[in-house]
Structure formats: structure tokens, C-alpha cells
Structure 1
């Protein structure tokens, strides 16, 4: 039966724009590429962990996907917000939740939701 999870695929007409958004704007490392710099691009933080993979849907002859919701974590959301604003992103206000998270929601160029979370309470 199923014994692992390797990636979430995004099939897009904007593979270059999405790759640059995740890699340059959000600073998510490129782990590997299957086709070229903007098609079959795997982004993540640990090689053997689940990754985001961006595919050119025209090249693959598949429809574009979406919307997806990706959740990332940071140590200091306010510092992250400053850095994202410096890169030209227009951001809504972040929100603190009673369950112990401080969250910012933005959309990537394809309209997928990107949630950036700082844990404000220690989870035990």
C-alpha cells in the first residue's frame, strides 16, 4: 500500500514566475530539477522530505492545478514580513490565533495560498 509522500505538484502556465516566487522571494531552496531551471523544479528544505514541484503544464500536456495551500514556518514573522515587503510584496496584516500561532497569508502568482506561521506558544 502507500508507504511515502514525495511531493506536491503544481502544474502551471507560469513555471518561471512560480519558481522565482518560491526560490527568490520566499527563499525556499531548489533541491533538484528534472527538466530545466523552470520545469520539474523541486523546492524544499530537506532532500528526502516532501517537496513542492513546479511543472510547465503546457510542456506536460496537463491542465493547471490549484488552488493549493502551503504552510511554512519561520522563527520571527515580523522580521519575515519586513523582508517580504522589501522584495515588493504587498501584504495583508498578520493575525494571532488563540491556539498559539501568528500567521500571514499571501497568494503566489497562480493564486495558491501561502501561509507563513510563527509559533507563539510552545507545543508540549
Structure 2
């Protein structure tokens, strides 16, 4: 029986760069690593909660993971978008949805979708 959700694995041919994108550009905190700073890195916001784990697929002779969609939350989307634009990140137009989110989309360096939402 399933008792919890542990992590989402991303196997990438550019793991170090992808880790840098999530840590430096998006500001997702480092939790731990299974291997080193560029392989098997767990990123998240709370210890012992589900994380995003990035692996170097070449080190494990594995295929790159197919594209994913990750949703992150912010308290101020306009301020977050300004910060991302200042870092040179291309963004979609922000949209306010009737169901209560204000959100923007972008892509990481592997082509995964990143959605940043403010709950309104």
C-alpha cells in the first residue's frame, strides 16, 4: 500500500545546469544530495516533505526524463516575475484565472514547464 509521496525524479543530460537553474534562478532551496552537488540533488522547501530530485542520466546510463510540469507558489507574482525577468528568464503573459490563481509559465533548460502561481 502507498503511504506517502517521496519525490519527483528528473534525469537530465545537463544536471548541473538544471540544478543551478532551480537553485539560483528560481531560488528553490537545497535539501540534501545522494551523490554530490551536481547529481542526486534534492530541492524543496521542507525537510521530510516531497522534493524535486535531479540526477545526471549519463552517470546512471539512463534516458532523460520526459517533460514535466511543475507548479510553484509565490506570495507576490508581480514581484517574482520582475525578479525572473531581471535574471533574463523568458516568461509567458501572466493570467488571472476564475478559479483563483494568478499565474505565469516558463521553461527550464530541459524544456520542463514551470508554473508560478499566486493564490488570489
TM-score range, shorter chain: over 0.9
Q: CA deviation at 1:32?
A: 0.3
**CA RMSD between the two structures:** 0.6
SS in 2 for 1:117: strand
Task: Tell me whether 1:9 sits opposite 2:15 in the alignment.
Answer: no
State the SS of the aligned residue for 1:60.
coil
Which 4+ residue blocks in structure 1 deviate beyond 4 angstroms?
Answer: none
Cα shift readout 1:15-49 (whole Å, capped 9, x = no counterpart): 01100000000000010011111100000000111
TM-score after normalising by structure 2 = 0.98
Q: For 1:84 and 1:31, locate their aligned partners in 2 and report how far apart those are by CA, in whole Å.
A: 22
Unpaired runs of 5+ residues, structure 2, are none
Q: Distance in 2 between matches of 1:13 and 1:64?
A: 7
Q: Provide the secondary structure at the position in 2 that maps to 1:64.
A: coil
Give the number of aligned pairs: 120
> 1:75-101: per-residue Cα shift (whole Å, max 9, x none)?
000000000011111212111101110
Shift of 1:66: 1.8
Quick one: distance in 2 between partners of 1:101 and 1:3?
30
Aligned to 1:32: 32
- List aligned pairs for 1:80-99, cutoff 5 A: 80-99=80-99
Runs (5+) with no aligned partner, structure 1: none
